[in-house]
Amino acid sequence: TDFYSILLRQQNPSFKQALQQSKLKMIKSGKYAAPFYWAPFVLIGE
């Protein structure tokens, strides 16, 4: 998924930022803009 590729590109990896960026990419894509596709992904813990 984009989450891992975004995470690996960051110098100081942040799960929170990687998840946010991957969700925004899904929303902006148009095809996966509905919350049905991106809302189920959540972070638990640090």
H, E, C per residue of 12-27: CCCHHHHHHHHHHHHH
46 has pLDDT over 90: no
Kindly tell me the burial class for residue 26, based on how many C-beta atoms sit within 10 Å of its own C-beta (0-12, 13-18, 19 or more).
buried
Average pLDDT of the chain, as a whole number: 91
- Tell me the C-alpha distance between 39 and 9, whole Å: 23
Kindly tell me the burial class for residue 18, based on how many C-beta atoms sit within 10 Å of its own C-beta (0-12, 13-18, 19 or more).
buried
pLDDT of residue 1: 72
29 has pLDDT over 80: yes
- 15 residue type, one letter: F
- Percentage above 90 pLDDT, the chain: 74
20 has pLDDT over 90: yes
